[in-house]
Chains A and B, each alone.
Chain A
Amino acid sequence: MSTTPTVTSTGTRASRIMGIAALVGIGWLLMFGLVLSPEDVNQGNYARLLYIHVPSAWLAYLSFFVTAMASALYLWKRTRSAAWDRVAGASAEIGVVFTGLALITGMVWGKAVWGVYWTWDARLTSTALLFVLFLGYLAIRQLDAPPDVTAKRAAIAGLIAFVDVPIVHQSVQWWRTLHQEASVLRQDLKVEMDGLMLFSLFVGVVAFSLVYVWLMLHRTRVGAMEQALDDKGLELAIAERHAEAGLTPADPVAAGAVVDGGH
C-alpha cells in the first residue's frame, strides 16, 4: 500500500477543460449582461440583474433536483451506493450557495425596482423556506451517527425538502404575488423577452450550468476523500483500542469483544 500521495489536488484534465469552459461562459455573460444587452424600457439597467438572478435560481432548482434523484437512488436498495449519497450532499451544498445568491440578487433588484429589499411575497417566502430546508439537510449530514444512518436520514430529508421546488416555481401562478410571472418557462410556452435580452439570459444559464458541473466534479471528489478519511479514522480508533486492550486486530473474536465492550 502506497502512503506517499502523488496526486495532491482534485483536478483532472476533464475538470480543467470544464473550468476553462465555465470561465469563458462567465466572460460571455459579463459581456452580454453588462455591455451588449439593451436597457429595459421599464426597468432600465436594473434588468441586467436578471441575467445573474434567473441563472442562480435555475441552478438552485437543478442542484436540488440532482439531490432528490441521488437521494432516491440511495434509498432504493438495488442502486444503494455511498457515491449517490456524496452526489446528493455535494449538489445540495452548491444548491444552498446558489439559492442564497438568488435571494441576494433578488433583494438588490427588489430595492431598485420595488423600493424594498424584502416583502413576504409567495415567491420570496417559498424561496427563503427552500434555503432554510436545505440548510437543515446539510445540518443533518453533520450529525454524529454511523455513515449509513446519516445517509439514509439525509436522503429522506432531501426528498421531503425537494417538494418545495415546484411550490417555488408555481408560486407566481398559485398566489397573487409582487414577483413577476415567468418570462421564459411559461405555461402557454410564449416568451416575452427581447431577442438579445433572451440570448443574454441563455448565456447566463449556460455559464452557471458549466460552473455547476465544474463545482460538482471537485466537490464530489472532496466528499470521497472526506469519507475515506472518516473510515481511516475509525480504523485507527479501533486499532488504538486493540493496542490498549493488548489484543491483535487480526483476531475477529477478540476484535468483536473489544468493539462490543466499548458500548
Chain B
Amino acid sequence: MTSVLIGYALVFGVMAAYAVRVLSRGRSLARRLPDEDKPWI
C-alpha cells in the first residue's frame, strides 16, 4: 500500500504545485496590468 500512497501523493502534489504556480503567475501579472488587458472581465 506504501507504493500506492506514494503514487497518489506524487500526483496530487505535482497537480497542486502546478495549480499554485499558475495562480500566483496570474496574480502577479494581474497586479501589473490594467483591467482592459484582462479579456475575461
Bound CA span A105–B7, Å: 6
Q: A8-B30, A52-B7, A218-B19 are in contact. List 16 more A-B contacts (CB 8 A).
A: A4-B34, A9-B26, A12-B40, A33-B8, A34-B8, A45-B4, A48-B4, A97-B14, A97-B18, A108-B10, A109-B3, A218-B23, A221-B26, A221-B39, A226-B29, A229-B37
Minimum C-beta distance from A220 to chain B (A): 9
- The answer to whether A9 and B27 touch (CB under 8 A), given A2-B35, A97-B18, is yes
- The answer to whether A215 and B30 touch (CB under 8 A), given A105-B7, A224-B39, is no
The number of chain A residues with a CB under 8 A from chain B is 44
Bound CA span A211–B15, Å: 9
Minimum C-beta distance from B11 to chain A (A): 5
What are the interface flags for B1-24 relative to A under an 8 Å C-beta threshold, 1 for contact and 0 otherwise?
101101110111011001100110
Task: Check B29–A105 contact: CB distance below 8 A.
Answer: no
Number of chain B interface residues as a range: 20 to 34
Q: Which of B4, B8, B11, B29 contacts A225 (CB 8 A)?
A: B29
- With both beta carbons as reference points, the residue of chain A lying nearest to B39 in the complex is identified as A224
What are the interface flags for A12-40 relative to B under an 8 Å C-beta threshold, 1 for contact and 0 otherwise?
10000000000000100010011000000
Task: Check A49–B4 contact: CB distance below 8 A.
Answer: yes
Q: Which of B25, B27, B33 contacts A228 (CB 8 A)?
A: B33
- The answer to whether A225 and B38 touch (CB under 8 A), given A5-B30, A97-B18, is yes
- In the complex, chain B residues whose CB is within 8 Å of the CB of A5: 30-35, 38
Task: Check B34–A3 contact: CB distance below 8 A.
Answer: yes
Task: Check A229–B29 contact: CB distance below 8 A.
Answer: yes
- In the complex, chain A residues whose CB is within 8 Å of the CB of B38: 5, 7, 221, 224-225
Task: Check B7–A10 contact: CB distance below 8 A.
Answer: no
Tell me whether A239 is interfacial, beta carbon within 8 Å. Answer: no
